[in-house]
Amino acid sequence: MAETEPTKKFFSKRVGRNVFDSPPRISIVIPAYNAADHICETLDSVKAQKFREYEIIVVNDGSPDTDKLERAIKMRLEDIIYIKQRNAGAAVARNTGIEHARGEIIAFLDADDIWQPDYLTSQFVFLQRHSYDMVYCDAALFGHRSAYRKTFMETAPSEGEADFDAILSLRCNVITSGTMARKAAIVRAGMFENDRVKAEDFHLWLRMAKTGSKIGYQRKDLA
């Protein structure tokens, strides 16, 4: 199935021929801005997932490297939903992905991050088994000499229950590419704030906790 759907909000939307007609369990939202050098590795890590009931939504946020990006993902276009919009920031790009997601569960992944092959399976089972509205995990850090061989939680550990007070006081630190949440809970919390250019994810986690979302932390290095 392939289509182009221009709207006032974004330039275009293309659905690859290999994207399932029926709604998947999980929608993976990947905002892309100056991501051409890394996005293929990111998409390959999704392709390697043992869990298969997903769709991939790549939102090109008016990136200046669009030509290079589209050359990089040309061989992968039939496997993804590709949206191009005017540059509006990561918050708007993620919201665009959420709005077009058909899955009941949203998994966030940045275009320069990767997942372990059992990421989706492990997070999905953890979320369902404990009836969580949102789950997050640990992640290995790379690209920074000071963080070499460390995980995210070794530099910014999470302690205790992930509730409003814990997130606000930074006792629980959530990495976006290690986060999976029910779409209904994200929408109930108001999604990402479109006009916020920094810490937009932190503020969403706060509002999710404040609106009653049950949040769980899985102490595994999965991203």
Q: Which CATH number fits domain 12-221: 2.30.30.30, 3.40.50.720, 3.90.550.10, 3.30.413.10?
A: 3.90.550.10
Q: Return the half-sphere exposure (C-beta side, CA atoms, 13 A cut-off) of residue 77.
A: 17
Rounded to whole angstroms, the Cα distance separating 223 from 217 reads: 13
Q: Are 25 and 124 in contact (CB under 8 A)?
A: yes
Residue 30's H or E segment, with its range, is: strand 26-32
Which residue shows structure tokens 């939680």? Answer: 153
Is pLDDT of 74 > 90?
Answer: yes
**Helix, strand, coil: what percent of the chain each, to 5?**
35, 20, 45
Is pLDDT of 122 > 90?
Answer: yes
- pLDDT class of 158 with cuts at 50, 70, 90: low
- Domain ranges for the chain: 12-221
Helix 200-210 with 90-100: angle, nearest 10 deg:
50
* Three-state DSSP class for residue 22: coil
Percent of the chain with pLDDT over 70: 82
Mean pLDDT, range 13-30, rounded to an integer: 93
Q: Are 3 and 15 in contact (CB under 8 A)?
A: yes
What pLDDT score was predicted for residue 120? 98
Write out the DSSP string of 99-143. HH--SSEEEE--TT----TTHHHHHHHHHHHTT-SEEEEE-B--S
Q: What is the pLDDT of residues 52-73, one digit of tens each?
A: 999 999 999 999 999 999 999 9
